[in-house]
Amino acid sequence: MSEFFTQAVLIAAVASGIRLAVPLLLASLGETYGQRSGVLNLGVDGIMLLGAFGGYYTVLKTDNVWLGLAMGIGVGVILGLVSAVISVTLKAEQGISGIGIYLFGLGMSDLLFQKLVGTPLPVGSFPKLDIPGLSDIPILGEMLFRHSIIVYVAFGLVPISMYIINRTTFGMNIRAVGENPEAADSLGVSVVRIRYLTVTIGGMMAGIAGAALAIDLGIFQQNLTNAQGFIAIALVYFGAWRPAGVMAGSLLYGFVNSVVLQFKTLGIIPRSWSDIAAMAPAIITILALVLVARRFRQPAALTKPFTRGT
Amino acid sequence: MLEMRGITKRFPGVLANHRVDFTVNAGEVHTLLGENGAGKSTLMKILYGLYQADEGEIFLSGERVEIHSPTDAIAHNIGMIHQHFMLVETLTVAENVALGLPSNRGLRTDLDAVSERIEELAGRYGLAIDPGAVVWQLAVGQRQRVEIIKALYRDAQLLILDEPTAVLTPQEVDQLFVTLRQMTDDGRGLIFISHKLHEVLALSDRITVLRQGTITGQVPVEGATRESLALMMVGRQVKLAPDKPPVEIGEVALEIRGLSVMGDRGDKAVRGLNLEVHAGEILGIAGVSGNGQREMAQAIAGLRQATAGSIRIGGVETTNHTPADVRKNGLAYVTEGRLRDGAIADFSVSENILLIDHTDKRYLKRGLLDFKAIKEHSLRLVDEYAVKTPTIDTPAKNLSGGNIQKMILAREMSGTPTVLVASQPTRGVDIGAAEYIHKRLVQQRAENTAIMMISEDLDEVFALSDRIAVIYEGQIIGIVDRQTATREQIGLMMAGVRPE
Ligand SMILES: Nc1ncnc2c1ncn2[C@@H]1O[C@H](COP(=O)(O)OP(=O)(O)OP(=O)(O)O)[C@@H](O)[C@H]1O
Ligand SMILES: [Mg+2]
């Protein structure tokens, strides 16, 4: 056990925790928009998988991680729009329809991988960016300011999302539509337009999350996300539909995950336990957040399709 | 300024409006009067773009207009105060007002400018409100002010008020009327809907009566009386106060000792309340809403945790028992929140009526529901309580506001409970139905039920009660005999002045 508490190992654990939190953070931030407007999209994991494959394949072919990320955005936007058609226009049962998107993404990403790539070839990863000045701070600099660019982007989106949701007209409309769509509608706010936008943003962020995951690992394989999309949805609930809460949850998950990994590497956890240990991050994260964030109420119109009388 | 011509609107199985002609002049209050389900809200929703008429035309200042959505209505300076509040509870007052309007700061909200304008309007029309308050924290009367400010902010020249007074206290109604009068003085036209005839007489310039979707009469307010309006609406004489034969007062049937209950916001809504209701009496609970009435009633019904004290029904301790258990001990409860906790919106009328009786032997046959018996029972109640519905299989949410209330009453009052707690039993109900409900309450009393009637309508409290208890800040601050009680005395107690 004492091996763990050396400075080098601890720093590495924190830094890798932050890195591991990124895909979850991106996906759950996106899902926050949809849920605040009253739409639950259970298809996040499927969108992540297709975004991951799209991103990976693009980097494999072009050797350009930014094109890979752009592909993740494109795939996410398209699948986000599809989700919006299904849940907003067709008013499908939101507890079920997202599972369809998930299964589609799971199967499709694997099929494309088998047909187009076959054997897992590694690709290049995001460039690192050491923030000048800050990265030289002892300990803290190594933990926080020597990451790849996508990490800064993901965490930068947290205050931006807070601003959008709390301070802009768009954000106010999102909150109104998720809470009382009839009232918003009676003042001329288009419930359908707002929900299309938020669900598409959610899809886009899931696509980015998937691409970021694949490019960060430099690899793709079947079910690469390992249900992180579902954890992201849980994080939105337990982060109380607030970007800061969602970030806290993602970080917690990342840290627990990274500690488990370190323990395994150092041999603190016996090999025979590794399956159980693999589940630990999800379980601990969810338990912790259940205990912390129970006092917040969900958006009143969550999962309820809106219809004006005729 | 407004002319609606030949408006017809059909719903499955209902002709809600039939060739209705309706006009409003600038500076007048035109009242729309009619029984529950007559089609008043439907006509107004057509005007506001929430429903589309099947036939008919709308003219504004002589020009024909098409109103397909609330956005169109707002663009034509039409505002609407809905029968049920249309507020986003988690947003602030200013945010609720600003919704749907462009901001003069681009993408950012400009809530400080909105707040300033709200305070300006509030000052001018006597609508004191804090623009920064979150709506769920506001009392009902304040919420109503927010609704009015929303319309004024959009410079509504024609304002529809669909039962705006149903949930207000008499003092709040007086205040509201002052504001409304000020609005007509500005040259705005108002459409007013209410079931309370004295309000209609006090506020209106013209009154139009709608019956089963058709206009059956129109009169100026001069010369109209409560009796004449009732006659026009219902087509027969209506008794505005029931006959109450004397009955023998029995033993204590409901006994409350030192009851404390928490409110929704974690505050102490009921604080050590003591009360007894005897078999065969109607105890009226008067009080301004928000003084713990709701929490007390819910605690009696087992729907809210009592943190201290005891409740006994017919001598049996029922404190914090399950609702089903409390019912088994002889309690019936008519809630004030209709669609929220009195009925299930997507269930049919007959299912809603059966809700509490589903284990009753009369409706079971070899352990399964006996649909024939249920149907007969539902049909009988629907008929008795004049619940207007196309069929008993229609979902409750498609009923008009007053008819949902009648459906709940039919369910709760059909047995002979030991104790009946009726919260705002005639709120939003038309006078014909109110007459019937009052008659039923008096009948229940004759059958020795102990009745606790919670009402903000002092007319109702005085017409029905044997004793009147006043609730203030979670306590009973005084109980008076109906025979000796005066309105002034009750009014003072409602304001918190303890009797000598
Ligand atoms: N969306 C709907 N679908 C089907 N029927 C409806 C719908 N809305 C209203 N109705 C029916 O139309 C009729 C008129 O209803 P409306 O709400 O206009 O009555 P109202 O005069 O406002 O009554 P109240 O005084 O009870 O509010 C009722 O029979 C009602 O059941
Ligand atoms: Mg109505």
- If one compares B311 and A264, the residue with the highest pLDDT of the two is B311
Same structural domain, B332 and B469: yes
Same structural domain, B281 and B216: no
CA angle B263–B269–B273, rounded 5-degree value: 140
Three-state SS sequence of A188-250: CCCHHHHHHHHHHHHHHHHHHHHHHHHHHHCCCCCCCCCCHHHHHHHHHHHCCCCHHHHHHHH
Residue nearest to atom 17 of ligand 1 (CA): B400
Pairing of strands B368-369, B364-365: antiparallel
Neighbours of A133 (CB within 10 A): 9
pLDDT tens digits, one per residue of A49-66: 999 999 999 999 999 999
Tell me which of A160, A186, A308 to substitute to probe the interface with B (most B C-beta atoms closer than 10 Å). A186
Same structural domain, B295 and B258: yes
Exposed, middle or buried, B145 (CB in 10 Å: 0-12/13-18/19+)? buried
B476 C-alpha to center of ligand 2: Å?
34
Closest among A221, A228, A230, A231 to A109, alpha carbons compared: A221
B212, part of any domain: yes
Could A183 and B107 be called an inter-chain contact, meaning their C-beta atoms sit closer than 8 Å? no
- Chain B residue numbers touching A188 (CB-CB < 8 A): 69-71, 74, 100
DSSP state of B363: G
Top mutation candidate among B41, B160, B349, B427 for ligand 1, by most atoms within 8 Å of CB:
B41
B384, part of any domain: no
H-helix or E-strand spanning residue B309: strand B306-313
Q: Which residues, including other chains, have CB under 8 Å from residue A62's CB and lie 6 or more apart?
A: A68
**The last residue of a domain, from among B234, B264, B299:** B234
Same structural domain, B419 and B324: yes
* pLDDT at residue number B474: 92
Angstrom CA distances, B11 to B42, B52, B54, B56, B405, stand at: 10, 11, 10, 16, 20
Compute the Cα dihedral for B11, B13, B19, B20 and give only its sign: negative
Lowest mean pLDDT among A43-47, A162-166, B218-222, B486-490: B486-490
Same structural domain, B261 and B339: yes
Neighbours of B451 (CB within 10 A): 29
- Chain A residue numbers touching B99 (CB-CB < 8 A): 172-173, 176, 183-184, 187, 189
Contact residues, chain B to chain A, C-beta under 8 Å:
45, 48, 50-52, 69-71, 74, 80, 82, 86-91, 95-96, 98-103, 107-109, 150
Q: How many domains are there within chain B? A: 2
Going from N- to C-terminal start, the domains of chain A cover 2-293
**The last residue of a domain, from among B208, B234, B260:** B234
Map residue B271 onto helix, strand or coil. Answer: strand
Over its C-alpha atoms, chain B yields an Rg (Å, rounded) of 23
* pLDDT at residue number B337: 62
Residues spanned by the domain of B466 = 252-346+414-494
> Which residue from A175, A182, A185 is facing B91, i.e. has the nearest CB?
A175
Interface confidence, given as ipTM, is 0.89
Same structural domain, B338 and B450: yes
**The last residue of a domain, from among B234, B261, B283:** B234
Pairing of strands B368-369, B419-423: unpaired
Q: Where are the beta strands (DSSP E) in B326-377?
A: 331-334, 364-365, 368-369
Here the tokens at position A291 are 């205990």
* pLDDT at residue number A158: 97
B175, part of any domain: yes
d(CA A3, CA A271): 17
> Which residue from B88, B98, B150 is facing A180, i.e. has the nearest CB?
B88
CATH of the domain at B185: 3.40.50.300
A56 C-alpha to center of ligand 1: Å?
57
Closest among A50, A49, A31 to A41, alpha carbons compared: A31
Here the tokens at position B405 are 């209330």
DSSP state of A126: P
Could A169 and B108 be called an inter-chain contact, meaning their C-beta atoms sit closer than 8 Å? yes
Same structural domain, B100 and B38: yes
B405 C-alpha to center of ligand 1: Å?
13
Q: Which residues, including other chains, have CB under 8 Å from residue B154's CB and lie 6 or more apart?
A: B74, B77, B79, B101
Here the tokens at position B176 are 């509201």
Residue nearest to atom 10 of ligand 1 (CA): B398
Contact residues, chain A to chain B, C-beta under 8 Å:
167-170, 172-173, 175-176, 179-180, 182-189, 300, 308-310
Closest among A218, A235, A222 to A286, alpha carbons compared: A235
Going residue by residue through chain B, which has 500 residues, state the pLDDT in tens, using 9 for 90 and above: 999 999 999 998 889 999 999 999 999 999 999 998 899 999 999 999 999 999 999 999 999 999 999 999 999 999 999 988 899 999 999 999 999 999 888 899 999 999 999 999 999 999 999 999 999 888 888 999 999 999 999 999 999 999 998 878 778 889 999 999 999 999 999 999 999 888 999 999 999 999 999 999 999 999 898 888 988 888 777 776 777 888 888 899 999 999 999 987 778 899 999 999 999 999 999 988 788 999 999 999 998 999 999 999 998 999 999 988 898 888 999 887 655 566 777 788 888 887 765 556 666 666 666 777 778 888 888 888 888 888 888 888 888 877 888 888 888 887 778 999 999 888 888 888 888 889 889 988 998 999 999 998 888 899 999 999 999 999 999 999 998 988 888 888 888 888 77
Site residues for ligand 1, CB cut-off 6 Å: A 309; B 11, 14, 16, 34, 36-42, 83, 388, 398-403
Domain A2-293: which topology?
ABC transporter involved in vitamin B12 uptake, BtuC (1.10.3470)
Q: Which residues, including other chains, have CB under 8 Å from residue B55's CB and lie 6 or more apart?
A: B6, B7, B8, B19
Exposed, middle or buried, A96 (CB in 10 Å: 0-12/13-18/19+)? exposed
pLDDT tens digits, one per residue of A218-249: 999 999 998 899 999 989 988 889 999 999 98
Same structural domain, B222 and B335: no
User: In whole angstroms, what separates CA B261 from the centre of its chain?
Assistant: 24
Closest among A219, A172, A216 to A194, alpha carbons compared: A172
- If one compares A139 and A192, the residue with the highest pLDDT of the two is A192
* pLDDT at residue number A307: 87
Residue nearest to atom 29 of ligand 1 (CA): B37
Q: Min CA distance, B87 vs chain A (Å)?
A: 6
Nearest atom of ligand 1 to the alpha carbon of B38: 21
Asked whether residue A289 carries a pLDDT value surpassing 70, the answer given is no
Top mutation candidate among B398, B408, B431 for ligand 1, by most atoms within 8 Å of CB:
B398
B398, part of any domain: no
* pLDDT at residue number B339: 56
CA angle A260–A261–A262, rounded 5-degree value: 90
Same structural domain, B419 and B464: yes
Closest among B184, B180, B221, B222 to B200, alpha carbons compared: B221
* pLDDT at residue number B171: 80
Nearest atom of ligand 1 to the alpha carbon of B9: 12
* pLDDT at residue number B400: 80
Q: Min CA distance, B136 vs chain A (Å)?
A: 12
Top mutation candidate among B400, B409, B437 for ligand 1, by most atoms within 8 Å of CB:
B400
Q: Where are the beta strands (DSSP E) in B221-267?
A: 252-262
